[in-house]
Structure 1
Amino acid sequence: MEVRYLWSIEPEKGPIYAQIAAEVKRMLARGELVPGAKLPSARALAEKARVNPNTVVHAYAELEREGITETRRGLGTFVREDVDVEAIRRRELEAAARAYLQSARALGLGVEEAVSALREVNDAS
């Protein structure tokens, strides 16, 4: 499976290495990356993302610390076979829900109104 990285880096949204690591997690949650998938080399991803290769190395190291990837000497960086994709998906969903609820509360809305708005948008889709 060839991994495609088409997102854009936005320096104002925090550390670039964290954005890269977060996108890898989102790709896992969406099923675009699967356990055992090989990630691009740090150099190749750095060229595509137009960042310093050390930034990608930092992102990959963070993912490895979290138990999501593993480095195989001489072969590259891979998504671990035993990675809990459902747990990653759940964390991503919870983060999105927290952000949405925070936005709704900033508008003075309660949980029921926020849920109702989600249903309306879903029904209109």
Structure 2
Amino acid sequence: MIDIDLKSRKSIYEQVVIGIKEQILSGLIVPETKLPSVRELSKELTVNPNTIQKAFRQLEEQGYIYSVAGVGSFAHAPKDIQPDARLLRESESRLRDDLRELRLLLPNDEDFSAIVSQILADMNGSERSMRQDRGERHD
């Protein structure tokens, strides 16, 4: 399920894109699985169908999903998703800026490293948790 935060600075369609990407990359959406239709997902999330259509279009452009005319949209396997070079550069730039700001707030190497390590552990824990929810084991 995708959580929509109406108070978020991110638009609803961006939240849908991020939610579906996370589910595909974590394996919550199994490769080649048919996604809900635009109409179904818009009802489930109580958002305008045009918003879902825009999100699906972006996911397809970025290679996370593909569409079959008259059948629907399907998830690509994470191994088949090639990151968009422009988006990768933009994300890396934002990350550098954020790390630079964190470094200014925490000049102590140990404090800085502890927070970065905790963030990475939290991210890895979330992915592990999603896999466990599906009954998968990765020891």
What are the ranges of 5 or more consecutive residues in structure 2 without an aligned counterpart? 122-139
The 8 Å contact of residues 67 and 80 in structure 1, kept in 2 or not, is answered as yes
Q: Distance in 2 between matches of 1:25 and 1:33?
A: 9
The 8 Å contact of residues 39 and 79 in structure 1, kept in 2 or not, is answered as yes
Partner deviation per Cα, 1:71-106 (whole Å, 9 max, x = no partner): 111111101256338x69xx7xx77x9387356335
Partner deviation per Cα, 1:8-57 (whole Å, 9 max, x = no partner): 23353222111111111111222212321211111111111111001000
The 8 Å contact of residues 17 and 58 in structure 1, kept in 2 or not, is answered as yes
- Aligned residues with identical type, % of pairs: 26
The 8 Å contact of residues 101 and 111 in structure 1, kept in 2 or not, is answered as no
Match of residue 38 from structure 1: 34
Q: How many residues align?
A: 113
RMSD across aligned C-alpha pairs, in angstroms?
Answer: 3.4
Secondary structure of 2:18's match? helix
Match of residue 116 from structure 1: 114
Q: Distance in 1 between matches of 2:64 and 2:118?
A: 36
Secondary structure of 2:54's match? helix
Q: For 1:49-64, what aligned pairs fall within 5 Å after superposition?
A: 49-64=45-60
Match of residue 16 from structure 2: 20
Secondary structure of 2:39's match? helix
Match of residue 84 from structure 1: 81
Q: Distance in 1 between matches of 2:118 and 2:39?
A: 45
Q: Distance in 2 between matches of 1:65 and 1:21?
A: 11
**Structure 1 range deviating more: 58-67 or 14-23:** 14-23
Q: Distance in 1 between matches of 2:118 and 2:53?
A: 43
What are the ranges of 5 or more consecutive residues in structure 1 without an aligned counterpart? none
Cα deviation for residue 113 of structure 1 reads 2.6
